[in-house]
Each structure stands twice: as C-alpha cells, then as structure tokens.
Amino acid sequence: MKAKISERQLNKYSKNMDNTISAKDRIIAWPRMGRIDIPLKALMLSLGAKIVIPPANSNEALELGVKNSIEGICLPYKLNLANYIMALEQGANTLMMFQAPGSCRLGNYTKMAQKTLKKMGYEFDMVIFDMYQSKMKQTLQAFWHVTRCINPFKYYKGFSLGFNKFFAIDEAQKLLFYTRPREIHKGDAEKCYNKWLNIIDNTNSISGAKALVKRIRKDFANIQINKNKYVPVVYLLGEFFVLLDPYVNQDIEKTLGESGIEVQRQIWFSEWLEGVLKPSFLNKKESHRQKCVRNARKYMKRAIGGESIETIGDAVYAAKNGVDGVIHILPFSCMPEIVSQNILNKVSKEEDIPILTLVLDEQTGKTGYITRIEAFVELVKRKKIMRNSEMKKKKEDLVNV
C-alpha cells in the first residue's frame, strides 16, 4: 500500500479543505455505527492522530439529534448529528463524514450537518470521505489531510490493522448469530463475543490482527451447542445503517437469536468496504451486489439508489435457498426501502416466503415491536415444522411406492 500523493492532486484536494487547524492540534471524531469505532481507532492512532470517540447511540443521543434537526429527515442523520455534537462537546475539532453521493439523501447530509453545527456555535473542520468515486486514492488523501502523516509504514500498519479488525469483528458477529440460538448455556455466545471485541480492540500488532479471525473461530467452536436443534434461519435485510447499528434496530439480532432463530445478515461492513476500496480488477468473484442484481431481475430491472436492489435480490435468494423467513427493517420515511417494501409484498407471495417489515422511528416502542417479532417467529417455526413433515411424508411415499 503506497501513500504517495502527487502534488497536483494534493493542491486540488486541499482547496476544498479547511487548513485553519494545524495537524497536530486536530482532534478527530466520526459518527458511531455498530462497532466501526474499533478499527477506525486503530487506524487513526497508527497515523498518530488524536481522537475522541463519542458515546454509542442511545436514547439520549437520539433526543439530542431530534431536537436539532428538522422533521422528516431520516433517523441515521439524527443520530449522526448527535454523535457530532457529543464529540464536539468532548473537544473534537475535526469531524469525519462518510458519504456516498448519488445513492440517497446521505450525500446531502454533510452540508446540512455542517450548517446546523455552525449555527449552534461550534467551530470545527469537516473532512468528507467520498466513498463513491474515491476508492483508495482519495481516501488516503483525506487521511493525509487530517493527520499529515507521511510515513508509508504507518499507513501500511494502520490500514492493515483496520482491515483485519473489520474482518475479525464481522467474523465474530457471524459466529455469534450462528451460536446464539444453539447454545446450551444461555449467554455463552454473547459473553464470548464481547470478550473478543475487547481483544480485538486491544490488539496492536499487525501479526496479532492477522491471526484474529482464526483464533475467534477456534474459540467459538469451544462453546457447547446443540447441533441437532431445529433452528429456522431468517435473513435480516434493509437499510445499511439500521442493519448495522444495534441501538437503532433495538438489537433485533439478539431478540431473534434468543428465541431460537439463526439470523443471517447479508450486508457486512467489511465486505462493503472491500468493494469500495479495492480496485475493480482485483474483484474476480461475483460481488454481493452483482449477485443481488442477478437474483432481483424478475422483480427489478434497475438499481434505484440505496440498498433497495440488495434487499430484493437477497429476499429472492433467500426464498430459493430454503431460508425460512425474511425480516426487512427500514427507518421511517426511507425512500429506497419504501420502494423495496412495495416490491417485497409480491416477492413474499410469489416466492412463498414469510416477510416481516419493521419501520423504525423515534417513537417505536420496544414492546409493540417485540410482539410483532414474536408472532413472526411463531409463524416461521410453524412453517418450518410443516415443511419438514411434508418432506418426510414425501420420502415415505417414495419408499412405499
């Protein structure tokens, strides 16, 4: 990984950047989403930056966000804004923002957040990571801008720590989803997961980070599970942010796992990041998106922004591959996912798969939400039992003939 940046690009780039804060005074913060703070922290610290990590999303954060943003804007924005405010209160002066213009409202967020915060009287510099057109080069430039780090080795170390941690976290989470519904002693899987989050966070060597995934797999294999249990599988689909942040989705994965359902999520931060940053010629295997486009074709002929086509593609894939149900989650007023929701009704009927849509907003009460999930879980389980007995009968019929 090279950190060479040609002068011309640099000039072009820093024109849009505020240079009033010198690199050594910068205190950097970024919005919270799931556990992306762990890898990003490793990366920023390797580059020698000072950072502030605002508290994880919570009711308090949401309230703060709602208070300072307009009605009708989407939930992710409100929480991001709250994260910024909290970080600024803790002394941050450089805010990182990840945006993907062209996909949705997200691209419009930055300016709005900037304006709101300025109006509230904060002084800061916002560095935008344009994840859409950027790929590796611009990302490096943005990092260079905030840290002024010119040592290529540090970049190498930072990025390899960061990437490996991303993969390790996602691996741990996948194993958690698999283990939780099958564990014999309730809580084992989660304990193991939390333990590993800690270890991941505290790993500081490249070799250590590279070994993480293997060690995690080994450790999870030690948890006692009931291998013969009937565990229905449910796909969790929907908008990126609500899928990845446990506060926003009210830890739906836990609720499902504890009621004996294996959750499979199709969107992973590590995979997404790889897709964005890796030059396309290195991607030999079909990417998740390409797979979705292929699967969704019967229902959807074009991508319409956001994660809509992924949602549809995965739902169809789920139905074709014996997955027992789909839960579709979206923030209130989310544009692409409302389109998905309209289409999913038909997918559910034609592909014969139960689909539950959950719309999340500030007022979503946890209880109402849980009753709906419970009812859905019952439905999925019943369906699974029915399907199994049907299959058995079919087999018997064959034998009898």
Partner 1 sequence: MVRQENLKKIIGIPRAISYYNNYTFYYGFFKSLGIEIVLSDKTTTKLINEGSKYVVSDTCLPVKVFVGHVINLLNKGCNTVFVPSIQSTGYKINNCSKIRGLPEIIRNVINRPFKMIEPTLDKTEGFGIKEFCFETAHQLGIRDKKLINSAISSGREMYNRFLEMAKSGIPHGEAVENAVKGNYVLKKMSLVKPLSVVIMAHGYNLFDERISMNILNKLNKMNVKAYTCLDITRTDAINSIHELDEIQYWANELDLTGTAAYFMLNKKIDGIIALSAFGCGPDSLMVDEIQYHANERKIPMLHLNIDEHTGEAGFVTRLEAFTDMLERKKRKQLLQCNKPKNIEIAINKKQIQEPKVLTKVK
CB closer to partner 1, 164 vs 341: 341
> Is position 120 an interface residue for partner 1 (rule: CB under 8 A)?
no
Extended beta strands in 175-322, E state: 233-238, 262-265
* Residue among 132, 66, 108 at smallest CA distance from 361: 66
Choose among ligand SF4, partner 1, none what residue 343 binds, the Cβ cut-off being 5 to 8 Å by kind: partner 1
Alpha helices (H) in 125-234, listed in sequence order: 135-147, 152-179, 188-202, 206-221
Is the separation of the CB atoms in 176 and 190 below 8 Å? yes
Least distance from partner 1 to the Cβ atom of residue 256, Å: 23
71, 218, 281, 367: residue in contact with partner 1 (rule CB under 8 A): 71
Choose among partner 1, ligand SF4, none what residue 106 binds, the Cβ cut-off being 5 to 8 Å by kind: ligand SF4
Burial (CB < 10 A; 0-12, 13-18, 19+), residue 105, is middle
The binding site for ligand SF4 (CB under 6 A) comprises 74, 76, 104-106, 239, 306, 331, 334-337
2, 12, 67, 115: residue in contact with partner 1 (rule CB under 8 A): 115
> Is position 76 an interface residue for partner 1 (rule: CB under 8 A)?
no
- The rounded distance, in Å, linking the Cα atoms of 276 and 330 is 23
9, 151, 345, 371: residue in contact with partner 1 (rule CB under 8 A): 345
Residue 341 CB contacts under 8 Å (≥ 6 apart), including other chains: 328, 330, 357
3-class DSSP assignment, residue 328: strand
Place of tokens 């991001």: 80
CB closer to ligand SF4, 72 vs 121: 72
- The rounded distance, in Å, linking the Cα atoms of 248 and 242 is 6
CB closer to partner 1, 323 vs 344: 344
> Is position 17 an interface residue for partner 1 (rule: CB under 8 A)?
no
44, 339, 356, 360: residue in contact with partner 1 (rule CB under 8 A): 339
Q: Which two tokens stand for residue 253?
A: 């994965």
148, 305, 354, 384: residue in contact with partner 1 (rule CB under 8 A): 305
Stretch that binds partner 1, among 68-76, 86-94, 161-169, 281-289 (CB under 8 A): 68-76
3-class DSSP assignment, residue 252: helix
Q: How many CA atoms lie within 13 A of 260 on its CB side?
A: 17
Choose among ligand SF4, partner 1, none what residue 331 binds, the Cβ cut-off being 5 to 8 Å by kind: ligand SF4
CB closer to partner 1, 108 vs 224: 108
Least distance from partner 1 to the Cβ atom of residue 399, Å: 40
CB closer to partner 1, 4 vs 15: 15
Choose among partner 1, ligand SF4, none what residue 304 binds, the Cβ cut-off being 5 to 8 Å by kind: partner 1
* 41-45 contacts at long range (C-beta below 8 A, 24 or more positions apart): 41/201, 42/158, 42/161, 42/162, 42/165, 42/203, 42/204, 42/209, 43/143, 43/158, 43/159, 43/161, 43/162, 44/147, 44/158, 45/158
Q: How many other CB atoms are found less than 10 A from the CB of residue 333?
A: 15
Least distance from ligand SF4 to the Cβ atom of residue 392, Å: 43
Least distance from partner 1 to the Cβ atom of residue 65, Å: 15
Choose among partner 1, ligand SF4, none what residue 301 binds, the Cβ cut-off being 5 to 8 Å by kind: partner 1
> Is position 346 an interface residue for partner 1 (rule: CB under 8 A)?
yes
> Is position 80 an interface residue for partner 1 (rule: CB under 8 A)?
no
CB closer to ligand SF4, 304 vs 386: 304
Place of tokens 């591959």: 321
Stretch that binds partner 1, among 67-75, 277-285, 315-323, 381-389 (CB under 8 A): 67-75
Stretch that binds partner 1, among 24-32, 241-249, 271-279, 302-310 (CB under 8 A): 302-310
If phi > 0 it is left, if psi is from -120 to 50 it is alpha, else beta; for residue 102 that is left
* Residue among 172, 365, 181 at smallest CA distance from 255: 181
Residues in touch with partner 1 (CB under 8 A) = 70-74, 101-102, 104-105, 107-108, 111-112, 115, 299-302, 304-306, 308, 332-336, 338-339, 341-343, 345-347, 357, 359
